[in-house]
Amino acid sequence: MQKLGSAPSRRKPSADRIAGAVAAALLVSADFTAIADEGSLRPYTIVRGSIPASLTGAAGDPARGRAIVLDRRLGACLLCHTGPFPEERFQGTLAPDLSGAGSRWSEGQLRLRLVDAPRLNPDTIMPPYYRVDGLTRVGSVWREKPILTAEQIEDVVAFLSTLRD
């Protein structure tokens, strides 16, 4: 707090950083909204840090999953991640490289990470892709919809599983 009559303090750089982060978050959530077309979530069971069963009961399509990962509006994974995508010039620097993710993690671990990353790490910046609560920044039209559909989650899981070292 600033005392009355004292010299006005200069704006702290941290305030700028916070404002920037909020703007970025809003931008990100705007990017993350206009996407899923599924009204309700399929139930799933978490077993020891993983969701072992497919959300749809079927295996996903790795080629479609790759397209979702690269799509700047759909998965937008490359806002944060790098990966084995030589055709992509701009890749993120905020998260681990996705190369080898299929060797490091089981399919079920990858599925839980995508569905609800904050459940594994409450401080993560990775958004929950298959959750509808807690998305307070999105417009009311989108609050009932996950970022990705169950089918899209399965496609991305199938693709990540192919990323072996």
CB of 22 to ligand HEC, least distance (A): 14
Spatial CA neighbour of 74 closest among 143, 146, 136, 14: 146
Task: Determine, following the binding rule CB under 6 A, whether residue 66 of this chain makes contact with ligand HEC.
Answer: no
- CA–CA dist 88, 69 (Å, integer): 11
Which one, of 24, 40, 45, lies nearest residue 143 by Cα? 40
Q: Whose Cβ is closer to ligand HEC: residue 76's or residue 158's? A: 76
Q: 3-class SS at 65?
A: helix
Name which of 9 and 149 has its Cβ closer to ligand HEC.
149
Instruction: Measure CA 98 to chain center.
Output: 13
Does 77 bind ligand HEC (CB under 6 A)? Our answer is yes
Where do contacts with ligand HEC occur on this chain (CB under 6 A)?
A: 69, 75-77, 79-81, 94-96, 98, 101, 104, 110, 113-114, 117, 120-121, 124-127, 129, 156, 160
